[in-house]
Chains A and B, each alone.
Chain A
Amino acid sequence: MSVPRPLALAGLVLAALLVQTAVIAPLGLPVASPDLLLVVVLAVALTTNPLTGALVGFAAGLLSDLLLDLPVGLSAMVYATTGYVLGVLRAYLVSEGRLVPVVAGVLATLGAVWLTGGLLLLLGQGDFSWQLLARAGIAAAVYNLILIPFVYPLVRAVVDRSGPRRTVPW
């Protein structure tokens, strides 16, 4: 297909943001909220390369920061790190087993939620307790675990069908 990859990825991120704020968050799930945007970022990183992972993570994080009242740039930092690290780790993976995105997703969610919370506490912006943060990370990881089997194949299909066959950084 001839859709340029940056455009396809931008579409993915925007769609994820809308679904997150207008569909998932209003469900009001207990303890934490699933993070669809993070799942999209990690799926992109696992199907492309560190550069694309970092750029998509940065863009997704920045957009979500702008819609929140948290310090702008914080999620951008955390999501870009998630995208870059997973993109790098992907090169060391021997198998492309089905468990890879699931395990990566759980670890990345735990890492991302705790990193965001930790940074907020360091910046003096978080009035929540460490216990609440720990529980939120675990709950978000469980929720994301459910999202991954649906989102990962979708992101993979979008990546495969957009832009050049070979992964060339944009």
Chain B
Amino acid sequence: MYDRPRRARAVFVLLLLLAAILVTVDFRQGPGGPVDALQRGATAVFGPVQRGVSAVVRPVGGFFGSLGELGSLRGENERLGEENQRLRSQARAAEGLEEENDGLRATLAMAERCGCPTVGAQVVAHAGSNFQWSVTIDVGTSDGVAEGMAVIDGDGLVGRVIQVTSDYAVVLLITDPSSGIAGRAAGDRSTGLLRGQGEDRLELELLQPDAEIAEGETVVTQGYADSVFPAGIPVGVVAEIAPAEDLVRRAAVTPLARLGALDTVAVVVDEASSADGGQNADTQASEGGR
């Protein structure tokens, strides 16, 4: 009994050591290491459950909204109320389907515009962390998804796949501070690096100090021969240009994708054709971005 505080302290120190070892192992391992395998296992196990929960939660929000209206009904009214509610939930489900349909159409239109083959996906979970901006989607290697692939929604670039299991994938959003994407102004050809800022803003670091860039201009992805990112996907709109202090010019960019309310997205699955068809996609996307 009396040694309990000491025992708690010993266990606590052991836990800290264990955590420190895990951090070290995680740092040293390459892709496919033991901790990486654990992470993919966790995503594989939690993905289906998260999908279930988010599928349940969406209508429940609306259900609670309508409960207040039904509260005063009794007896006969109750039966009618139940029927009413059932009809309402059907209508709401139809509304949800319509919304989903719209989202899918918009995403499809975006995919067609960039001329790249895509796989549609539903967002099943968000990171829920203050240090990582990512979402889990319900497609994986069995749908042809691989690490590094670009993810878009109906409005623009969402992020990049950073982890993939057979049926689920984790997407690092473009707003994550560790996210860096090669981009360029759609009109002018000045290129730069788009960095996440952790909030709903991106920073564009222009490589050419004399680059001509204007507020309101669309920024699109820049493709390279060996890059999995197709060129010409709209990323955001220049919101503010920082005064030129040093050699690097910076501009704040507002993302086009609705990152705060992601629901239906698409993964650009074919990297090969995007590099070839990049030029074509470029012009189409710049026109569409205007």
Chain A residues with a Cβ under 8 A of chain B: 17-26, 28, 31-33, 35, 49-51, 54-55, 58, 61-77, 80-81, 84, 87-88, 113, 116-117, 120, 123, 125-128, 132, 136, 140, 169
Contact = CB atoms under 8 A, between A and B. Distances in A.
B274 to A, nearest CB: 24
Interface stretch (B17-25, B65-73, B230-238): B17-25
19 contacts: A21-B50, A28-B261, A32-B130, A55-B11, A61-B19, A66-B42, A67-B125, A68-B127, A68-B131, A71-B23, A73-B19, A73-B22, A73-B23, A77-B19, A77-B20, A80-B15, A84-B8, A116-B131, A123-B23
Interface residues of B, number: 57
Given A28-B261, A50-B5, A127-B178, A113 B130 contact: yes
Interface string B1-28: 0001101110110011011111101110
Nearest to B129: A68
Given A69-B132, A71-B27, 12 more contacts: A21-B50, A32-B130, A51-B4, A67-B125, A69-B170, A69-B172, A72-B35, A72-B38, A80-B12, A81-B16, A84-B8, A116-B130
Contacts of B260: 28
Contact of A77 (B16, B26, B35): B16
Dominant secondary structure of chain A at its interface with chain B: helix
Contacts, number: 168
B129 to A, nearest CB: 5
Contact of A126 (B9, B46, B128, B177): B177
